[in-house]
Every structure is written in C-alpha cells, then in structure tokens.
Structure 1
C-alpha cells in the first residue's frame, strides 16, 4: 500500500514537468496571472494640451484567434505598442450586439433588445417619413439631418427602469455633451434587409441622439461576391472621419463585415466562409493601421468586441480589448472592478473614457476606470489566459455537479447503513474523508498545468486520493487525526493563497468564475464556507487530540485558537484580502460562538449583546476604512457603502433586494441546496437514530462536538447574509456532516 501512495506522489510531481515539455503549458496560476513590472498608471491623455478624442472601433464576432500578429501588421502595431485585456461582455440580458453596446455606453449592465434595427440617420426614410420626423413625433424634440437617432429610446429607457439598480442609458454620450463635446457614429452591420446599427447605443446621449451619423447604405460598398452584396467601405469612412469637426470627442466606428458573415454563415460552405473571413480581417487590419496613423498625440483608440464570436458550435466567453494612443504604454489593462491583470468588464470602458477627459464617473455607472500595468503582455500569454479562464468555466459544471451529487448520495447511503446496521461499514469511511479533501484538491490543482478538462479532472482525483491516503495513514496515531490533517491543511492553504494574492483560487473551479463575473478577487463563497468549516472543525479536532494527551496541552491549544480565528476573520474582512462581507458576518457569528463553547462560557442575553456590538464595530471599522480610500482602490464593500450613503435607504433596499433575488434563484436551481439539505438533514436524523449515539460522541469528544455546532452556525450565517449564501452554507457543512458520520461509523465498529 505504501508503494502505491509513493508512486502516486511521484506521478503528480512529474506530471507538471512532462506536460510543460510536451505541450508548452505552464502551471495554471502562472498562465492566468501575468507578471508585470510594478507601477500602475491610469489610462490618460492630454499630451499636446488639447482635449483628446476617443475612437472606438467595434468589431462584433471578432475572435482572439483571428488576431495573428505575424500576419496582420495593423493588429501587430496595436499589440506591440498598446495595452490589451480580455473583456467580460455580460449584460442585463442576453449577450447581443444591442445589449452589449448599451452596456458599454452606460457603464452598467443594461438591456436594449431589438434596438439595433431602430437606429437611423435623421435624413433616412422610415415608413415614408424621415427618421428625424418620426423621432420628433415620439419625443417632441427636433434634430439636424446630420444626426443619428435611436427611435426606440423610450422603450430602451423603460426596459432598464425595471432593473433592480440605478442606471442611465446613454450616460457616456450625455457626459460628452455636458462638457461641450460632440459625438459621431459611422458604419453598420446591416445584412440583406436586416438592419443592425447597435453602435448608436454606445455613442448616444440620454435622449437617443448622436450628433454626427453615418450609418446608412452610403458607408457600404457593393461587392457581389460577399454575402448580402455589400462590404464596409473603409475608404469612405476614413474620408468622413478626417472631415469631422474638432469638437467631436467620441467617435464610434462599426466595422460590420465579420458580423455580416456571422449572421449568414449557415448559408456558406465552410471553406468559403473561412476565405471570406480572412479577407474581412485583413481589410480591418489595413483600416486599423491607417486609423492608428491618423491619430493625434492626444487621441485614444480602442478596439472593442461587444458581441463574442462563435465557430464550430462553440461561442467565445470573453472578447479581446486593445488600447492604443495617448497615455497607453505596452502592457496589460486591468481595473478596480476585477483587480486582475488582463481582465476588465465592459462596464469599465465608459468610466475609463470619462477619466481620460478628466471627468468623474456618472452616477449609476458600476464600472471603474481601467488601469495600465506596463510590460509583460504578449499575444501568446493573452491566449493562455483565455484558455485557462475558459477551462474553469467549462469544468465548473461537470466537476462540481459530480462532486455535489456524489456527496449527497454518500450522505444518504451512509445514514442508511448506520440506521440499518450494515456490518461492512468500514468500507465507507475513506469516501467520507475523500469528500472532505476535494476542496483542497481543487485548490492545489492550480499548481499543475491544465491543458484540458480530462487532465484537470485527473489531477483533482489523484490529489484527492493522495490526501485521503495521508489522512488514513495518520489514523494510526489517533482516531481524529484524519480530520486534523485535512481540515488544517485546507484552512492553511486558503489563508496562505489569499495572502499571496489568491492566485490558486483565481484558477480553481471551486472558486469564482470570471466568465459569469459575479466576483473576480478575494475569497469566493465556495472557499469562504470551506475556510470557516475547515478551521472550526480542525480546531475542534486539535483540542480533542490535545485533551487525550494532557489537559495542559488542551489549554494551550485553546488559547492558540484566539489568534488563529482572528487571522481568519481579518483575512475574510480586509479589503485587500478576502473582501467578503457575508463571510465576515458569518465568521463574526460562528467564530466567537465556537470560542465560547470551547471555554464553556454560559450563553445569556448579555453575552449575545456584547458579541453583536463587537461584531458591528468590527465590520463598521472595515467599511469606514474601505470607503475612505480613493474610489479606484475601493473593493465592492466600499462601493456598496458609497451607494447607500449617496442613495439613502432606497439604495440599501435595492442592494438587499438584488442579493435576496440571487439567493432565492440559487436555492431553487443549484445542486448545492441539495447538499445543504442532505447535510443538515443527516445530522438532525442522527440525533434520534440510532438512539444515544450522538450523546455518546458529545461526551467522548465535547470540543469536537462544540466545533460541529460552530460549523453549523457558520453555515446558517453564510446562508442568511450572503447573496449566494446557499453555496457557502453547503461547503461549510462538508466539515460537519461527513466527520460526524465518520465518528459514528468508528463508534459502531
């Protein structure tokens, strides 16, 4: 048996080096966290004393794999002399060009369903009348013939009034107008008789108006060999761009050929599609090179992909973002929203442009101005980063679902075996230990290369077997040694990784998901529940083992729990570390309660009131500290507090409503609700059957039993105070139900 575990360990140690040499892969945390020189600079301009112009080129359906720097000199120029990142393009609805463009222009997740086909130049004809006349009929406002208008602006406003947070469609264009600047939009993605002018949603103001519009048929050139018969006329667009007046501060250019191909791909032969796509990318590349050469020293160019591409039935999860021009140096783009080099949100672009012009973010913008981390960026590393993030997204559902289903079935089977007194109960104990070891295995897998999903699944399985074997080996020294090893190693691993920047959590499928975008940094809800559960259960095991050795040892270990719990609490709460408000509240409930049970303090209303007061002071202190920092450095704790201070109780109840809706939705649909119910239900059932077994364990291991009570309190606290609390509640119970079942099986045998 020892040879087996030794061979398993040697295999894991050799695996990383073999994959690295064979396929060129690096460990997951290195691929996802590019090294960059110190010094973060804001993306800013004004190098020649004039207000800078921002040119945004939107290329819907462009893929990262399409950007081949060795074949495309225009893209190569932007990559070599500019900054890049992956862009999360989530919206308040589905990820469509209409919704994405509205989100980009508002700096908040919006909806604008169907509005891409209702944007027109004011002089275009709509049902026999000019679009300007129709706009005047609907809004009571007149616009010049040169303008572009969003005829469905009232519908767009109505769609977004129903969202549970403040927002303002057209906030970016409105900010330009307030500063005396003008806006322009050029190009379209029309195909056949279908209109697609979603770029207007990015540049428009709150009234749905863009000052200069060139979005009709004149911006296209006939091409009988291209699907639909028309291509983007880049030469004409460039001529019109050079003719724009000086006052135009924001120009949005829709390079629509890839979008036209995407919409008609099902009608094309695959080889023909690839040829046309390559031609479209090359024409776009030549236009980018010309546009980069036409920029003034104070101008900023952004290449944005609002809607991801799709090939072979697989849609991209994130899109490329390139920045070039004034204030930009070669490197990575990041933002306070994500705090991850090379990853930003689409809501960050509008605040970035306002910062470029020296303006403050508009109320309702949830994004933050992007930052520049000079150096270290290249195309290959950008691809590696995308591959790692896509792997996490693809692996989360199959791996976590399998783990959760296995855990539920194991709990149900074990309870049944205990109640019906099956005589082969020893065989089930290693599986209970394996369930407890899986979260740590998910964390440690980030140290190894992960070329694909089967490799990741195999790594997690092998690490789980290794941890299970280690814990079973330790059982020869004490019955509780397996809990002590797994729980303390898990808690220590999470704490160390958090203090090192959360690199392993950032690439773990058991942590947050950059594609979903609910959290990008700190301790996610999965590992928050694991940290509290493992730390409390591990401390109970330590105290029980120490009690068996000598009473003095138990007293010393009990005192050591104070700094250990304090460190975990600080790590969860600190804005630069865990930044998990719900986890902090759950810790403030469970950790002091566990300590009181360890020290056998009798609970009464005075003790409860004192604990509540201390918890409020502790949490309030961290919130005040975070909100006192510059906006760019604040975590979501400080930003939420800022929203409440600015919006009063209305903003507070909006936050409560939003988090409650998320929790209810998760309880209904996530597998973790079944894990939580199965865990809590098995513990409740064992209080009654077999008769007296729980009382016997309580008398034999009082400190460990108190720890199980603390884990349950942490689980319930996480459920109540977290926006996805059911996940944290279920992961905390991993260190209550399986250990209790293990002890009962040991007592019965």
Structure 2
C-alpha cells in the first residue's frame, strides 16, 4: 500500500501548470460589420472549395461562434444578444423604420411622439424600444453600444435589410442606435427591386460601394445587413433542388465578389458575421455560426477570453470587441469581453478549422443518443448488481463476473475522456462498442493484476483529468461527459459530469490515509490530495468550477476531520461543513487572483461591489436549472437509481461490515454528492455521476466480501 500512496503524492506534486497564450491589440479606425443571416459552415466549406477569390478566404481569419441567446433560436434574439454584449431576447414587431414609413397605419414619427413623447430628428426610428428594454434583465444595455460610440465621435451607419415580401427584418440597426432609439443609415436605398431575386429584392452592390466610398470620417463604424441569403433560404421550400443549388451558388458568388471589392478597394477592416445559420443547418444540429476577419486591425487569429478558446467564440463578445476596436472601454455590465488577436504560431488552416467544427457538430448531434444509452447501461448494471448480490450471492462465477463488470463500469469515464476525439472518424455506434471493449479489458486487468483495483482506477481517473486540465482541457472539451460549446453553458474547465467523478475519486484516494498509523502521514496525505483537488477544481486556468470546489472543500474537511480521530455528531457536521464552506469560499477567491478572468471572478467582483441582486439571480438560476434537469434529463435516471440503491445498502446494514477506510469513503462520498447537488447549477448531474462512482465501488466491496466470506480490504498492503 505504501508504494501506491508514495506514487500518488509524488505525481500530484510534480504536475506542472499551463501558460496562457499572449495576444496584442490592434490599431485602426474604420470597421465594416457585414451581417449575413442564414450563412452556415456549409456555405463556408462551399466557398473554400469553389470560391473565385481563394486568396481572400485564405488571408482572412475564420472562427466559429456560439449563437445562444436568452430566448428561442431566432434572427432577432441572436442579434439582440450580439448588440448587447450580454444574452438578450427580442420583442414582437421589433424593427427599424425610416422616416415616413407607417407603423400601425401612421407615420413612425407620429408613433414616436404618441408612445414616447419624443419629437426627434433621426433617419431611423425604433418605436418598440421601451418594450425591448423591459423584456431584458440587462435592459440598460439596449442602445449602450451606439451611445458609447457616439460619445467618442465614431460615425455610424447601417445599410440594407433582410425584408421578405410579407414582413420586415431590419435588425442591423441594433448595433448603431443610441439609448433613445435613434440611428442613421439607409435601409431601403441599398436594396433594389429585382423580379428574379428571392422575394423580388436584392442587395444593391453599387449603392453600397458608393456609400462606403463617400465615408471620409477618421473613425467610422458601418453595419451592412446582407439579407439575400436569408431571403433565398426562406423560399427554398418552394424551389426544385437543382434550381435552389444554382441560385445558392449565384448568391454566394455575389457575396464573395462584394467582400473582395470592399477588402481590396478600401482601407476598412471587415468583420463578416452570421447572426444565425439557415434552418436546414440548424435542424442538422450544425449550430455554430461562421465569422471571418480581414484587415490590418485583425492581425492574427481571434481569441475569446470568455470561452478561453480560439476555435469557438462567444456571441456576447461582439459588442465589447467593437468598442475595443475604437479604443473604448466596454460597459462593465457587459458579460462579454473584447476578442484578442494572436499572432499565429501556425498557419490559419481553414480546412482544419472546418474539420474541427464538424467534429463539434458530430458530438452535439450524437450526444443525446450516446449519453442516453450510456446512462441506461449504468442504471441496468447497478440494478443487476444490487439484485444479484442477494439472489446470486452463492454463485462464485457470478460474483467474479459482476466484480469485473463493476470495475469496468468505474473505468468507463476514463475512456469517454480519452477516446471521444476519435468519434468523428469511427462513428457513434463503433465508438460506444470501443468504449465498452476498452472498459472491459481495463476492468478485467485491474481485478486480475491488482489487489486494489478500485483505488487504482480512481487514481487513473484523477490523473487523466488533471493532466488534461493542465493542458487546457482538449479531451474534456470534446468528451460526451464534458461541456458542449454549442450549448454554451460552459466553454472551459472541468464541467459537472467529470467534476462529480473527480471529487468522488479524490475522496477515495484520501480515505486510504486511514491505514497510515502515524498522524503526520495522515495529515500530509489529506493536505496534499485535498489541496491538489481544490486547485484543479478552483483555479481559473484549470477546472474553474465554483460549485465543485466548494463541494470538494466540504467533503475533504469532513474526511480530514475524521482521519485525525474526531467523531462527528450532527451538530459538529453542520459546524465543520459551514466552516469548510467559508474557508473554501476564501480559497476560491484567492485562486482567482492574477488568473485569467472567468465567470467565478466576475461573480466575486459583483459580490464585493454590493450587487446582492446578482447573487440572488444566480441562486434562482441554479435552482431553476436543477429543476429542469431533474424533470427532463436522462441523468435523473442515474441520480434516482444510485441514491435509492445507496439507501438499500444502508438499510440492509451491509455497509456496517466495511473496514475503516471503506466506511469513511462511503460517508465522505455521501457528503460530497449531497454538497454537489446543493451547490452546483447542474447539481443533479454532478450528484448522479459522483453517487454512481460511490455505489459501484461499494457493491464491488460487497461482492468481494461475499467471495471471501469476509470484507476484503483494498486499503491493506499488498
């Protein structure tokens, strides 16, 4: 046993830290934001393969962007989020209107006076501004982008629209209007009537280029809403596939030619941004939007401090980036951060980027089926192990087989971590079979070659996750048990599925200290393993999971307090847990200092500034998310099953036969799992994975006891 913990402590002490990529600021003053709704990565792939200006696509910088907003998927909701710098949602009938246009049968100027008591001179009006402000929790940010740009003497204009024959779609003005709903631009004059075009309208390239040539201001921000693809895909259902393909190619060539004329004919930097992809791509779950950068102001590949990635950017970063482009500090209430542009260490390989994005699409598309099958498999295995522990307890072959299956099940998270990057090559079905096969091999090997297979598997899981976190989490980021950048709930760190497993395995490793006779050795084991676990979970560079860090702090404190010979009554448990929570909160705060900014650091800043409302909203959101997960998620099956089986294990008093280390792990694991349930925003998920590890381990020990006629102590020396 000594060799095992010597290796454990040495491994945790020598693991190093990762470094962050450096970026530099850009310096230029003329930006064109080209909004192209309905552009997807399918169109980007087509342009890379068939485009007539291949040099242009190669010299630009390509990335994917999350398009999640507060409301349902829609062009308006996405554009509101992009312009706010925080997640937002649109309101019914929202649009920009030019002077003289009718709203509810009256000139828009009259509506502005009637509804808002404002008689203001402007080229564009937004009569539904109050409703938009009221609809969003961050309503004070509506128009904030335009207001800040105006205050710093940036000339702003918006051109074009995405109108169809039946309804208007003018959302580009959200980027340039001020807090009073005023904006300048030309919506209809830059779109021409064309009978052969979708909905009888097409962007007027000559008019647009003329508008851009007339722009002589030293600081200018121009938004062009290129609605032709949006109109085309809106009519796709009415076209034969061959005709649609022909029109799609024509529209893409027109867009490409326009971009080429702008990038070669002016000193402006161009930012191509798809607020949404078309419905077909969305239904195929290709739910990341392409974005492209050209010009001297974008020297290098984009990097998002919000996602801490360069392959996937956050939509809330758009508004802060526009402000930063003009050297204006973003509003502190914007949740996004300015994009940084890194000097490329390697060539910006567009085909490689598209390939990686397609892998993300594959994971997202198959995640539900794979996880549903995986969770069902774990539930069935736990039920079989529980029932068979009593029905088949006299059958030695069955006990041996179930021990191997339980050990294999405990090892599955390890394979779901390291093998998922290959799912795009082999497909989901062969991937699942591969995971099962590798898990069975590792489970059999561990039970045959080690007297302590569960501890060994727990150590391997902790080591693998830790090493991945120290290298930026590339395997977690692509794992079915990791977070998904398309969902957009988390972009970095450990995530809740692996956090539950990580904490349960760490508690298992700590409880091995019970076999150390000297008190100082127990304390060293507790201090090193607990400190390492908290660092991995809490540091911005690594796990960045506040709920998991606090839960781990409580669990480690409980186990450590017991290991030094203290008995815990109910009130002592409350006191120790409360004290551990406060100390871990302080430690978590310290871990954020001099680290990359994260959602945890932002929360501490809000708390220290006295923003209690933010804390209350966070707590409310956590409760609502857990309720939603409990009602609809597949993880509820595993959560309910594992907790019920734990109750059966305790009720039948089988756990009372455990040795000291195993009994301590059971108690410490329960504390960790309950803490995860209460403190995590996806607590049901983290509690389910942690309790699965705990219950599987305990049933393994129960079968070992039955096999030998006494409890088999894996904590004793080999």
State TM-score, norm by structure 2.
Answer: 0.89
More deviation in 391-400 or 130-139? Answer: 130-139
Superposition CA RMSD, Å? 2.7
- Pick one of 427, 444, 454 that aligns with 1:469: 444
Shift of 1:622: 3.7
Shift of 1:402: 1.4
- Pick one of 654, 657, 660 that aligns with 1:693: 654
Equivalent pairs, count? 680
Matched ranges for 1:145-184 at <5 A: 147-160=123-136, 163=137, 168-184=141-157
State whether structure 2 residue 582 is matched by structure 1 residue 616.
Answer: yes
Give the match for residue 307 of structure 2.
Answer: 338
What SS is found at the alignment partner of 1:717? helix
Shift of 1:538: 4.0
What SS is found at the alignment partner of 2:222? strand
Give the match for residue 270 of structure 2.
Answer: 301
| Cα distance in structure 2, aligned partners of 1:76 and 1:204 | 35
Give the match for residue 359 of structure 1.
Answer: 328
Give the match for residue 436 of structure 1.
Answer: 410
Shift of 1:74: 4.9
Matched ranges for 1:101-120 at <5 A: 101-115=79-93, 118-120=95-97
State whether structure 2 residue 463 is matched by structure 1 residue 492.
Answer: yes
Deviations 1:502-525 (A, max 9, x none): 121111110111001111111111
| Contact 1:150 1:200 survives alignment (8 Å) | no
Structure 1 unmatched runs, 5+: 1-34, 47-51
Give the match for residue 27 of structure 2.
Answer: 45
Shift of 1:92: 0.6
| Contact 2:285 2:365 survives alignment (8 Å) | no
Give the match for residue 67 of structure 2.
Answer: 89
Shift of 1:537: 2.3
Residues 228 and 314 of structure 1: CA distance in aligned 2, closer, same or farther (over 3 Å): same
What SS is found at the alignment partner of 1:189? coil
Shift of 1:128: 4.7
Deviations 1:575-599 (A, max 9, x none): 2111111111001100121123334
State whether structure 2 residue 319 is matched by structure 1 residue 319.
Answer: no
| Contact 1:120 1:148 survives alignment (8 Å) | yes
Matched ranges for 1:158-237 at <5 A: 158-160=134-136, 163=137, 168-212=141-185, 214-216=186-188, 218-237=189-208
Residues 708 and 591 of structure 1: CA distance in aligned 2, closer, same or farther (over 3 Å): same
| Cα distance in structure 1, aligned partners of 2:78 and 2:675 | 36
Deviations 1:425-454 (A, max 9, x none): 424333322221111111111464632333
Give the match for residue 32 of structure 1.
Answer: none
| Cα distance in structure 2, aligned partners of 1:207 and 1:467 | 65
| Cα distance in structure 2, aligned partners of 1:423 and 1:498 | 44
Give the match for residue 536 of structure 1.
Answer: 507
Shift of 1:189: 1.2
| Contact 2:285 2:361 survives alignment (8 Å) | no
Shift of 1:257: 0.8
What SS is found at the alignment partner of 1:686? helix
State whether structure 2 residue 681 is matched by structure 1 residue 713.
Answer: no
State whether structure 2 residue 704 is matched by structure 1 residue 746.
Answer: yes
State whether structure 2 residue 658 is matched by structure 1 residue 680.
Answer: no
- Pick one of 440, 462, 478 that aligns with 1:507: 478
Deviations 1:182-218 (A, max 9, x none): 4211111112222111222233222322122x222x3
Shift of 1:416: 2.7
Deviations 1:610-668 (A, max 9, x none): 77446534432442563566xxx311111111222335222221222222222222222
| Contact 2:124 2:184 survives alignment (8 Å) | yes
Shift of 1:373: 2.2
What SS is found at the alignment partner of 2:331? coil
Shift of 1:322: 1.1
Structure 2 unmatched runs, 5+: 1-17, 708-718
Give the match for residue 622 of structure 2.
Answer: 659
| Contact 1:115 1:156 survives alignment (8 Å) | no
State whether structure 2 residue 112 is matched by structure 1 residue 129.
Answer: no
Shift of 1:110: 0.8
| Contact 1:309 1:315 survives alignment (8 Å) | no
State whether structure 2 residue 428 is matched by structure 1 residue 453.
Answer: yes
What SS is found at the alignment partner of 1:210? coil
Give the match for residue 521 of structure 1.
Answer: 492
More deviation in 252-261 or 228-237? Answer: 228-237
Shift of 1:468: 1.8
Give the match for residue 252 of structure 1.
Answer: 223
Deviations 1:37-58 (A, max 9, x none): 953123x223xxxxx1321100
Matched ranges for 1:137-148 at <5 A: 137-144=114-121, 147-148=123-124
Give the match for residue 7 of structure 2.
Answer: none
More deviation in 240-249 or 702-711? Answer: 240-249
Give the match for residue 72 of structure 1.
Answer: 51
Residues 240 and 601 of structure 1: CA distance in aligned 2, closer, same or farther (over 3 Å): same
| Cα distance in structure 1, aligned partners of 2:279 and 2:505 | 42
| Cα distance in structure 2, aligned partners of 1:196 and 1:440 | 48
| Cα distance in structure 2, aligned partners of 1:249 and 1:644 | 37
What SS is found at the alignment partner of 1:565? helix
